[in-house]
Amino acid sequence: MEEGGGGGGGGGRRRRRRREEEGKDLRVDVDKEYEAIQELGEGWFAKVILVEHRKTGTEVVLKAISKDSTDLKDFLREFHYSYFLSPHVNVLNTYDVAFQDAGAYYFAQELAPLGDLTSNLGENGIGESGAKRVAVQLASALEFLHSKSLVHRDLKLDNVLVFAGDFSRVKLADFGSTVKAGTQAKKDSACMMMVPYTPPEICDVFPEEFYAVETGSDVWQLGVIAYVCLTGCLPWAKADITDPKYCQFLRWHRQRGIKSQAPSHFHRFSHKLQRLLRRILEPKPEKRGDVGEVLKADTKDRWLLRSPEASWAFSERDDPCSLAYSVASSREEKNRLLATLLRHGVETTVDREAKKEWLRQWVMDSQPRSTK
């Protein structure tokens, strides 16, 4: 038992010592304990690896987070949220297994047999029925988070994992950015890489400045995901007045009455869906709807009026959003594409052909082990 008393500095030192001791307890020889089967994905700060536990023969997914990009405190925070939120049916299952080696921190999660939403996205999205199922399930997961005053902050296609081909079972993943609502967060490089999904109130914040994290940012990102699932394209490159497609949306949003004319890229949507999108893509966060708006929506109502092919008025070559789903046939081309996109504030870490290849192998070789 620790001694009482002492000032704030002593308490801080004790907390640091506790974290150091926790870190020592987590040390594992990864190669000795696990056999790597396949690297499933790689982001800016982490890798996701399919492994087999040598003693039991059990296959699990390890998320490996580089120590160059995080510290023990932030790793434990992500693991804590991932583990204690996973009982929800639409949150990825995280197991009570966490450890470290010299270069990375690790924790174990369930295998998603069909990869992420990006890998399942066609030229025109995933279809109306699939988009409805995804939107409702993500809204349910977010309602669970928000009920605990937590904000995910990193909703995008890569962080939605697919467990059924008809999208009747998807799960939210990656809680590395999750914090309590009201937390003061800095607009850092991670925020800059999320530009197409970033709500306008955060786009307006200068780099390295702080802003208050609120649940409304998750609602906005859910709206963007729903749009992409229905169309196969991002609605805009950035929610800022410098973006022409966002300006069209903003002008429409400010209009009221029967003369209100939706922007051309919203013409394919029914009036009921347009009303829903206006609520969850409300530019003013204090007026934005919550995820309950999606859960209350009648999914029997039509969301699409006509096919995207008929209503899309310009070519993919002219659409900056389509770059987010371009195929890079080599690592060099992929790196050049990444550099170009980042210069314009658009983030993508997806090589779709590579993902398709490992997905094919994944489905053949692996079976989901969770019954949740």
Binding-site residues for ATP sit at 63
DSSP line for 110-130: ---TT-BHHHH-BTTBT-HHH
Active site residue 218: no
CA distance linking residue 269 with residue 311, whole number of Å: 10
Hey, is 56 helix, strand or coil? coil
Return the amino acid letter for 281: L
Can you read off the two tokens belonging to residue 267? Answer: 């013409």
Can you read off the two tokens belonging to residue 352? Answer: 């779709």
Contact 191, 169 (CB under 8 A): no
Residues in the chain: 372
Residue tagged active-site, from 101, 116, 154, 174: 154
Helix (H) / strand (E) element for 48: namely strand 46-53
CA distance linking residue 273 with residue 277, whole number of Å: 6
DSSP for residue 318: G
- Radius of gyration (Cα) for the chain, nearest Å? 21
DSSP for residue 261: -
Which are the catalytic amino acids? 154
